Structure 1
Amino acid sequence: MSDAYKKAGVDLTAGYAALKTVKQLSGNDQLGAFGGLFPLADQDLTADPVLVAGSDGVGTKLLVAIAAQQHTTIGIDLVAMCVNDVLAQGARPLFFLDYLGLGKTESTRVQAILTGVVEGCRQAGAQLIGGETAEMPDMYTQDHYDLAGFAVGLANRRDLLTPANVRAGDVLIGLPSNGLHANGFSLVRDILFKQHAFALTDEFSELGHSLQAELLRPTQIYVDSVWPLLIRHRVASMAHITGGGLIENVARALPTGLSAEFAWGSWPVPAIMPLLGELGQLTPQDLRETFNLGLGMVLVVHPEERAATLAQLAANRQPAYQVGRVVTGDTPVVFKEAVNG
């Protein structure tokens, strides 16, 4: 094989090795074809099936992983960002594809990244059926890379979660996040590393560990916890709390004329978020519009389903909090102090 392409900066042999690695990690020997295959014969197809697709990336959290030289969990973030969106529509994730663009195919790093992708798919119950590893010198520096993903799920059309299902008096149930997840990192990095010049190895008493350990917590995947609720039709609508924080994302799960009234103080907020607020002199509105504030998913359930929903979540060992209610109003999301007792 001519080495002209390698001299230009692209190592095809390293790319083939990366494909072999992901085949071994995923156990899918079909990877490497021109298209990924997913058989529908084994699926519980309804009379009116709908495919639900979602695509996302990890954003500038990648820069933290690169600086820390810790790449084993960033693939979980990638899968989570996609499958949680699909789940929020009421669909069960079926399969996933990834895209990895980098300046140089370094085998140890690529294996670490793909290990996370495979683990994320395992947690989501989704099959990794394909992807692309693109070595692009001059597009990326040698140490930098980017990740994107694409997930597809299946739902019965009548079971899709939409704002139209929501009514005044519904209950808001929050599922805790695993910290920042993969959102707001441009602001996080600005506060911690530009405004204050902290190091990833720095520790804070509020956190009990290093910034690296905190910032690289992988995004929680909620499929195992939430799907049993969906098949029992317990959830009316749902919001995956990503970029835009509680305010923007919860608003997307509500119809016009109804408002999500959160009882502030009814759930624990991870210490990193008020710490960022203090260091960056952020307002409460800044925090609510940027971070998940401790809630990775917000479920909207009818009052008659509240007890059964909380019981099912407890049975699945999923912590959950009743964090508010749906009321009539023109402001989509409002916050009121929790009333004890």
Structure 2
Amino acid sequence: MNKTKLKSMTYRDAGVNIEVGDSMVDIIKPMAARTHRNDVLAGIGGFGAMFQIPKKFHEPVLVSGTDGVGTKLRLAFQLNKHNTIGIDLVAMSVNDILVQGAEPLFFLDYFACGNLDINIAKNVIDGISYGCQLAGCALIGGETAEMPSMYIEGEYDLAGFAVGAVEKNSIINGNSIKNGDLIIGISSSGAHSNGYSLIRKIIDNANIDIYEDFYGKPLHEVIMEPTRIYVKPILSLIEKFSNKVIKGLAHITGGGLSGNIPRILKNQLSAEIYRDSWKIPPLFTFLQQKGNVEDDEMFNVFNCGIGMIIVIEPDMQSEVINFLSENGENAMVIGKIIETNNNSKINIL
């Protein structure tokens, strides 16, 4: 009887190249090293990263956040532009934990693909590293997962999470916000990483050429502008004026102004927003016109030019706005806190 000898199979036969994955670790290590703080005890390469809570904290509370970048990834694939999407990834988590007064300490990412393309992965991780530098946190670990047949060639998925710390007696939670307090808005850099399913739908339905000129820049560059990271100016603001002055912070992320400001307001309080108090960037006006989007929907989906809001005492207006301006932020009063007897938590006038 003839016996057919079966071919010995390898992981590479299944579509996974261990050697390429190992080389990716070597590429990531210097990128991560650029972000390291003295508190990093063990980073990239081990089974688990280790980070020592800085000694300056006396009663630290850990604050964590996780996020992705949504369907902005689809435009990154279409444009073959991967060098800034990592900044978005970091921004979405660090801006979230910032609003409780937390200093981001470290960040980890998850990069999943069908077949690992070193050049694409390098560009993505380089963006993550740069985002961590902007946020002052350390990139101490992550996961690069190569999963054949799970993703189309050239495509990948991203997720990440940040951990920060805040003194227990310095947590910003909105509890001290009261009637008459002012709402300061800080400008966004664009659409950040929210509303891209609608953006892409508008582009498709209106047959928009994303390579056309848009106020002196290609439209796709304006659409793909990375999310602004507010960590350093906001932490400096808190350090200068304390959490007694900074009564509330809200990251204007998914849900827009309408969905995020109410998250920091107690019962019987509402936010009154004056839409003529800041100039809505041309990108949002363009999207609204091309998509025939109602005003309410715009404020429910997009940040409309405001990426972060701060609630303060009225007599601190000039000092806070001047400080933010000196630290490179465009800030202005966009509304105030009022008492309400109904369920409406925000009115955009």
TM-score of the alignment, normalized to the shorter chain, above 0.5: yes
Secondary structure of the equivalent of 1:65? helix
Match of 2:14 in 1: 8
Secondary structure of the equivalent of 1:252? helix
* Distance across 2 between alignment mates of 1:312 and 1:70: 35
Q: How does 1:165-204 map to 2 (within 5 A)?
A: 165-193=176-204, 195-204=205-214
* Distance across 1 between alignment mates of 2:75 and 2:187: 23
Aligned-partner residue type, residue 26 of structure 1: A
Aligned-partner residue type, residue 224 of structure 1: K
Match of 2:5 in 1: none
Q: How does 1:220-259 map to 2 (within 5 A)?
A: 220-231=228-239, 232-233=241-242, 234-259=245-270
- 1:79 matches 2:79: no
Q: Which runs of 5+ in 2 are unaligned?
A: 1-7, 37-41
Q: Which runs of 5+ in 1 are unaligned?
A: 337-341
Match of 2:135 in 1: 124
Question: Which 10-residue stretch deviates more, 262-271 or 122-131?
Answer: 262-271
Q: Does the 8 Å CA contact 1:68/1:200 hold for their aligned counterparts?
A: no
How much does 1:3 deviate? 6.8
Match of 1:339 in 2: none
Q: Does the 8 Å CA contact 1:10/1:104 hold for their aligned counterparts?
A: yes
* Distance across 1 between alignment mates of 2:52 and 2:175: 32
Aligned-partner residue type, residue 31 of structure 2: L
Given candidates 53, 57, 78, the residue that maps to 1:45 is 57
Q: Does the 8 Å CA contact 2:87/2:130 hold for their aligned counterparts?
A: yes
Q: Does the 8 Å CA contact 1:244/1:291 hold for their aligned counterparts?
A: yes
1:142-173 deviations in Å (ceiling 9; x for gaps) = 11111101001100122111131211111110
1:92-141 deviations in Å (ceiling 9; x for gaps) = 11000000011111111111001100000000000011000101111111
Match of 1:209 in 2: 217
Which structure's CA Rg is the greater one? 2
Q: How does 1:92-131 map to 2 (within 5 A)?
A: 92-131=103-142
Q: Does the 8 Å CA contact 1:64/1:215 hold for their aligned counterparts?
A: no
Aligned-partner residue type, residue 210 of structure 2: L
Secondary structure of the equivalent of 1:72? coil
How much does 1:6 deviate? 1.1
How much does 1:229 deviate? 1.7
Secondary structure of the equivalent of 1:50? strand
How much does 1:196 deviate? 2.1
Q: Does the 8 Å CA contact 1:93/1:154 hold for their aligned counterparts?
A: yes
Aligned-partner residue type, residue 16 of structure 1: D
- Identity, in percent, stands at 39
Q: How does 1:304-319 map to 2 (within 5 A)?
A: 304-319=315-330
How much does 1:306 deviate? 2.1
Aligned-partner residue type, residue 230 of structure 1: I
Aligned-partner residue type, residue 196 of structure 2: F
TM-score, structure 1 length as denominator? 0.94
Change in CA separation of 1:96 and 1:3 when aligned onto 2, cut-off 3 Å: farther
Match of 1:218 in 2: 226
- 1:156 matches 2:167: yes
1:191-245 deviations in Å (ceiling 9; x for gaps) = 102x1232331334xx432221111100000011100122232310111001100
Aligned-partner residue type, residue 152 of structure 2: T
Aligned-partner residue type, residue 304 of structure 1: D
TM-score, structure 2 length as denominator? 0.91
Secondary structure of the equivalent of 2:233? helix
* Distance across 2 between alignment mates of 1:17 and 1:304: 56
